[in-house]
Structure 1
């Protein structure tokens, strides 16, 4: 079959322009595009940052259910929970709203809100029904951050709360929990924000927050110490009991004072302070004008410890600094001389009660003058209940010998010491007992026993004599003696009545006596002559003595 080619003339095409916007088909996609763009912009505008939260465990956290709150307002939600790559906990992803994107700072703090009972009371009871949630407090740093470590307990400083944050460091034997109170004269003015122990430096570190306006109590001279809760003090003044507030009794507390409140300089935020173990340690801190002296004792120092008071006539003027205080390796010669050195620290501020402060040199001169006049140190009892001791300075004269092995020891002036107190009495009693033991008690007791035996025999003889006397008195003849004596006296009266001055007998007797007196007077010359010459009755007194003739 043959194909026939037919040539037809070309007809030009006609192009007709149409109005695109007149077509309804393009309206719907355009509207959808505009709406989608608007929604996208709104979503972008309303969507905040995505933050990563690190926790030890995901207890109480649920994806899309656990919300993020600030000031009890929902500002985000947990979108993802997974294990951390280092296997040290969980990693939580949370989507926040746009209105909190400027609150994510390097010092922003997150924590889990759940039922909690601590020293601050009972909190988070509302989460028993709604479930736990994550709250945060915005920071004030200029640095932006989107990864945070979630705390176990709420931070101390609330949003917008002003105050002062300080660092404390101490060599303490215990650590307080976060949230424990900060006290000023038993008034709660702040709380502990963080607490941890450094195993390398073996120190305890705290971060505390003092709420405004209480931060005005802090200055460069503030001193901090651990509050034990109940403080029982026994000394020479008796027993005193000091109790801290209930919060401090439950968890302990940190107390502080500011002795230079009027003269101390203000402190900056995050400034560090030393934390002491107790209030007594703070009260016994050495001052700039402290004076050091050393006293040597032969007696026992049991009960005398560092911090014990040093008193002068009942006035506390210092403390014991070190017991014992060995310098120049003198402890190696302890058993050779038996001296126990004790270092004393005197505080001039305690001697300036209601008086102007004086220089250190002034008090050194005053004390040296007292030493030259005979000031001595003795160990005295501070409490009979606990057996604690103290040092008492006395300038009264005493018969006890002074002990002073050195004039200067370890760079300190040495104070002479004397025995005293109960120890002195005990030493005197011991010396008395030694003298008593040296007495010949065996011989004395033996002689006494012999004397007692003789006395016993004498008493037996006396008893027999008394019995014989009783027998004699019991006889009728003895009992009639008084009647016979009465009769004799009666007859004697009658006889005496016969020799009365009016009776004739009395006259005769009187005449006889007169004659006898006259006779004695006449005989007196004869007696005198006989006394002078006993041979007057034999030889003639007027003739001379014959001279014998010689023999032819």
Structure 2
């Protein structure tokens, strides 16, 4: 019987080959890895962003507190092509992080309120960061924030600011009190009705006690350069403020603290501290100054001074409240300037006698009658900034306007520069009246006479030169020298040791000796002149008496 007819024996010949164990083990391992991968994966979430700058499929990670919790698996455009749709595969056990208040943002190099951040992504690339949600239902679709979220403090106070001037500040910019950071900008908006930028600030506790109804807020620029009548001012704030700007607030000097304010109270945001300080003076008297002068260098915010003391502020240059039609009807071309006198700059709350506005108004009216006038003066010659100066004039011009189109007018006078210009103009006019042509003609005649005189002097000089060059003239010095030598020889004979001088000296000595010898004889003749004729009697010697 053949082998095909014996199946039992054929089955005995079939043996198990060990080579089949290799693919079997590989299959088991692959199945196990697939199971492990599937069991370790979390849900797939969808993130919507304005763009996918810096994100890559399979490389970009999703982190929370610098721990990997997912990875980008797909990036595509939305159906309306307006946004980027990013799909992220979360790790296992991250379901509870995906609650409604979870926040996502892209970490990359940024310059913000905390300085420069995200420099580590220059080498590793951008990644997506998140803060786990704490409340709400679990979701799988979120929107990526444009900026990293701020740490929100529950304690403190929120205030609202309205800015009519200045540039926009960013969310997260710091809020300072006397240079110390006490809060930040939480939200920025725009009020279309008031055409103003609105800010919502968070003042952290316990610094919220510094906010009251009397404080003022102003923009703190990182770097500022200002030119005014006081000079050039340059200030540099902190690096943080330099990068993102900021807001400062404080209580004005000399002003008492106000009442406690409620949450979301509204304040005005000024563009500078100077503007904020000027708004403290809420009691003022407005005047219109009609200047017949050049207003270059006079700007809003300039000072109104009385003999160097600031008493007011310039508000508008030129003042638009007065129509140009009314000004064109005047016989003198003038430019209106709106300024105000602020008595509170001189009235302090601790003064016993504080004048009211009506008293100040009456006093100013009286001083105007006595010669108080306003003029433009240069406050700083480096930048030609001008201020309005009030002072009394010796010969004031008469007051032409008390009121103009409903506004009180402050009388003005020509400024010092105008006086200088008028004096220079008068000097030039007088100079023009000088007979310059006649003077120049006389000067020409004089120059001709001088030229003739110089020619004659030249002729005389030539004659003297010819006379000196003659041999006879050159002989004169030799003859004169010989005469001088002969004179010296003659004088030497009359000297003490000379031929004539020595005998003369001896004779004088003999004569002096003879005169000395004749002195007694001459003295006797003076006493008794007849002695030359009669002999003198001999005198008897006196005999002394003997003692008794």
Query: Residue 419 of structure 1 aligns with which residue?
Result: 414
- TM-fit CA distance, 1:403: 6.3
Match of 2:293 among 288, 294, 299: 299
> Contact 2:46/2:86 (CA < 8 Å) preserved in 1?
yes
Alignment of 1:131-210 (within 5 A): 131-135=127-131, 149-158=143-152, 160-172=153-165, 174-197=167-190, 202-210=195-203
Structure 1 segment 212-227 matched on structure 2, within 5 A? 212-227=205-220
Tell me by how many angstroms 1:380 deviates. Answer: 0.7
CA distance in 1 between partners of 2:360 and 2:319 (Å): 23
Report the counterpart of residue 31 of structure 1 in structure 2.
none
1:402 maps to 2:404: no
Contact 1:109 1:155 in 2 (8 A): no
After superposition, the C-alpha distances for 1:154-212 in whole angstroms (9 at most, x for unaligned) are 23333x55222233332345322322222333333222233355677643333332222
In structure 2, the residue corresponding to 1:345 is in which secondary structure? strand
Offset at 1:292? 1.1
Secondary structure of the corresponding residue to residue 301 of structure 1: coil
Q: Structure 1, residues 25-66: CA drift from partner, whole Å, max 9, x if none? A: xxxxxxxxxxxxxxxxxxxxxxxx999865435675989x97
> In the aligned structure 1, how far is the partner of 2:74 from the partner of 2:260?
47
Q: 1:223 touches 1:256 (CA, 8 Å); kept in 2?
A: yes
Match of 2:390 in 1: 393
Contact 1:112–1:135 under 8 Å retained in 2: no
Over aligned residue pairs, what C-alpha RMSD do you find? 4.7
Structure 2 gaps, min length 5? 1-42, 484-548
Question: In the TM superposition, what are the counterparts of 1:354-365 in structure 2 within 5 Å?
Answer: 356=351, 357-365=354-362
1:211 aligns with 2:223: no
Report deviation, 1:393: 1.0
Residue deviations 1:300-332 (CA, integer Å, cap 9, x gap): 111112111111111111111122225552445
Cα shift readout 1:404-461 (whole Å, capped 9, x = no counterpart): 4311224443222222233432332123112212322222222332244345545666
Q: Does 1:344 align with 2:316?
A: no
3-state SS of 2:290 partner = strand
Q: Name the residue aligned to 1:320.
A: 314
Unaligned runs of 5+ in 1: 1-48, 484-552
Q: Does 1:329 align with 2:326?
A: no
Aligned residue pair count: 421
Asked if 1:381 corresponds to 2:375, the answer is no
- Structure 2 counterparts to residues 68-107 of structure 1, below 5 A: 88-89=82-83, 90=85
Q: Give the corresponding residue for 1:439.
A: 434
CA distance in 2, matches of 1:138, 1:125: 29
Residues 198-247 of structure 1, C-alpha deviations (whole Å, 9 max, x = no match): 67764333333222222222222332233332223344444332211112
Q: Structure 1 residues 365 and 452, CA, compared in 2 at 3 Å: closer, same or farther?
A: same
TM-score w.r.t. the length of structure 2 is 0.63
